[in-house]
Amino acid sequence: MANQNVPQATAERLPLYYRTLQGLVAVGKTRISSSEFGDLVQIDSTTIRKDFSYFGALGRKGYGYDTQHLMDFLRKTLYQDELSKVVLIGVGHLGTALLNHNFQKNNNTKIVKAYDIDPSLTGTVVSGTKIYAMDTLATDDNSDITAAILTVPAAHAQEAAEMALASGIHGFLNFSPTTLSLPANAYVRHVDMTVELQALIYFLNHSMEERNSK
């Protein structure tokens, strides 16, 4: 069942498809065509049909897609039918916001514990999540944890990631503005708000120039 040949670009769209389908099922919509779905998610309908086709025939010709069936399929494909446990490292401004955000709603992921270097935070509970000292991280057994969310200052992201890896964590969602150097058995995704903001400003200015020069 493992689909080795699903393009990366397709895989990255699946969560959006899944969430959109959750919304459709919730409002009682039972069927949808690729073009109507495409309008919703702002992706060309051909791209959507192609994406689904990597997983076999999920729709019915002349009818479209059954939202419930498609949602169920994507839930399995995205491993959302089992709970994924994650930890959060760095309970500062951003980390606290993430702890307060209930990822578990429509999203089978739970922040089960947090780590911070600040001794005054050790043992406290933020939004139901207990905070542990960093000293214990590297020697803890976290092999049941899917991923670590890194919200520490950039200067400490690398060491924090290495400790987490030592404890058995292989996935990382890095919010620090720095590149991590980890061995090949680790997988990192980077959410970089500064980059996003600068890219936004770049594209805004350039599309304006383009418009003016026409």
Ligand X SMILES: NC(=O)c1ccc[n+]([C@@H]2O[C@H](COP(=O)([O-])OP(=O)(O)OC[C@H]3O[C@@H](n4cnc5c(N)ncnc54)[C@H](O)[C@@H]3O)[C@@H](O)[C@H]2O)c1
- In terms of Cβ atoms closer than 10 Å to its own Cβ (0-12, 13-18, 19+), residue 88 is buried
The reply to whether 35 sits near DNA by the rule CB under 7 A is yes
Q: How many residues does the chain have?
A: 214
* Helix ranges restricted to H, the chain: 8-26, 34-41, 45-53, 67-77, 93-100, 154-166, 193-212
Nearer to DNA, 14 or 138 (CB): 14
Does 101 engage in binding with ligand X (CB under 6 A)?
A: yes
Interface pattern 99-128 for its own copies (x via CB under 8 A): -xx-x---x-x-------------------
Strand 171-174 to 109-116 pairing: unpaired
Does the protein bind ligand X through residue 176 (CB under 6 A)?
A: yes
Residue 82, helix vs strand vs coil: coil
| Contact residues: DNA, CB under 7 A | 7-10, 33-35, 43-47, 49-50, 52-53, 57-65
| Contact residues: ligand X, CB under 6 A | 89-95, 97-98, 100-101, 115-118, 134, 151-154, 156, 159-160, 175-177, 193
